[in-house]
Amino acid sequence: MKAVALSDGIYGLHANVQNNDLFEGIWPIPDGVSLNSYILKGDKVAMIDLFRDWDGAKGKVEAQLTDLGLSFRDIDYLIINHMEPDHTGWLAEFKKINPSVEILTTKKAAVLVKAFYHFDDGIRVVATGDTLSLGGGKELLFVETPNVHWPETMVTYEKQSKTLFSCDAFGSFGKVADGKEFDDLLTAAEHEFFEGETDRYYADIISSFSAFVLKALDAVKSLDIGTIAPSHGIIWRKDIARVIERYRRLASYFNTPAEKRITVVWASMYGNTEKMLPSILEGIRIEGVPVSIHRIPEEHVSYVLSSAWKSRGLVLGMPTYEYKMFPPMAYVLDILERSHVAYKKVLRFGSFGWSGGAQKEFDTFMERLKWECLPPVEWQGLPQEDDLKRGFEAGKALARAVAL
């Protein structure tokens, strides 16, 4: 890829990761992910956000710098919005190449520079309201946005171009193609893809910090934003309100009702739990409520979390396994709890063999997540006709509750 101009003297550098690694060691990225850095050229040169040398990122960024007539040694200032290693993993090597660079970051981030990369010289601590002039009319404003999604995070705003460098906020999974770096260059199908990957990125990475996301959105709403330049995904320059509203809506789901839809997550050992699924789905669909279905462990929990975050209702199908929940489903519930997927209307169903027990363990999750649960549908062995009728009626009842 080549460096792309956002405005006069401001450029985006994209390094696509396409090696089938897991993001954060957890989340699948079958369509890759972009690591975005930005160059601002005034009388001085600033780089905003670095990268980890992941899937050859260093070479890709270096080639784009060369296109601009620059090298890493020409960077006067490095702005670190967020210390997570996908944005800073190459920092120690960068510092050796350019020992005179001045690093600007928050007080909490400066501590992490020492912890992660074992140096503390050349660091200037900045706080909300602080500015940096690069000359040539370019001035940077710093705004702290703690817990979006680490405690040390901030965003950087360039006043002349009205560009918000938002780091992980407004980011997405998915590689960025040449000539498709901006929102107004995408087809409708490409927009649909990136919006889906924005939702999944939000649910997987950001959702548990949603209260802080809403505070951060309030902190920057007074800025006249013309471009949003995140550290992953496309750059927004046309429909800014579209992505801001999407983020505000996603963040609101941590304590307000989500969309009137149901996410069904199920697992079955020998098919007895699976035999109930069609009856429950028929009950849901007869009420006209949209439903998405995910089978565990065949489908990664990343996609379950993304769907569940946006859904008002959940159906969780699992058998009892040695007096407890079926382990793959227990893992799903652990992820939902870690991500604070709360305030849902929930139905659990499942079979058991010689003894039950899954419901007892499930109840502990229900209490912690403030779920409103319908009576469970459980049975021993193979479901009988009466059991299937109970499943159908339970599906209808959940759908009606979600549609209210």
CA-to-CA distance for 158 and 229, rounded, in angstroms?
Answer: 11
The tokens describing 203, both together, are 């649910």
Amino acid at 244: I
Section 355-371 average pLDDT: 90
Q: What torsion, rounded to 10 degrees, do the Cα atoms 269, 273, 278, 282 define?
A: -140
Section 269-286 average pLDDT: 98
Express each pLDDT in 295-309 by its tens digit.
999 999 999 999 999
Contact at 8 Å (CB) between 302 and 204? yes
Section 40-62 average pLDDT: 97
The tokens describing 134, both together, are 């690069």
DSSP per-residue letters across 179-244? T--BGGG--HHHHHHHHHHHHHHIIIIIGGGHHHHHHHHHHHTTS--SEEEESSSPBBSS-HHHHH
Decide the pairing of beta strands 10-17 and 4-7: antiparallel
Express each pLDDT in 279-294 by its tens digit.
999 999 999 999 999 9
* Percent above pLDDT 70 for the chain: 100
Express each pLDDT in 167-193 by its tens digit.
999 999 999 999 999 999 999 999 999
Q: How confident is the model at residue 205 (pLDDT cuts 50, 70, 90)?
A: very high
The alpha carbon of residue 251 and the mean position of all alpha carbons in its chain are separated, in whole angstroms, by 11
End-to-end CA distance of the chain: 49
CA-to-CA distance for 160 and 131, rounded, in angstroms?
Answer: 13
Q: How confident is the model at residue 368 (pLDDT cuts 50, 70, 90)?
A: confident
Question: What's residue 120's pLDDT?
Answer: 94
CA-to-CA distance for 166 and 103, rounded, in angstroms?
Answer: 17
Where exactly are the structural domains of the chain? Answer: 4-252, 259-403
Residue 217 has pLDDT above 90, yes or no: yes
Question: What's residue 365's pLDDT?
Answer: 84
Return left, alpha or beta for 55; rule: phi > 0 is left, psi -120 to 50 is alpha, else beta.
left
Question: What's residue 157's pLDDT?
Answer: 98
CA-to-CA distance for 330 and 99, rounded, in angstroms?
Answer: 49
Residue 366 has pLDDT above 90, yes or no: no
Express each pLDDT in 5-47 by its tens digit.
999 999 999 999 999 999 999 999 999 999 999 999 999 999 9
CA-to-CA distance for 255 and 315, rounded, in angstroms?
Answer: 19
Integer angstrom CA distances of residue 75 from 130, 245, 262, 340, 377: 20, 35, 50, 40, 63
Q: Which helix (H) or strand (E) holds 103?
A: strand 102-105
The tokens describing 395, both together, are 């599906």
Give the pTM. Answer: 0.95
Largest pairwise CA distance in the chain: 78
DSSP SS3 for 374: coil
Q: In the CATH hierarchy, which top-level class contains the domain 4-252?
A: alpha beta
Q: Does CATH number 3.40.50.360 belong to domain 259-403? A: yes
Q: How confident is the model at residue 367 (pLDDT cuts 50, 70, 90)?
A: confident
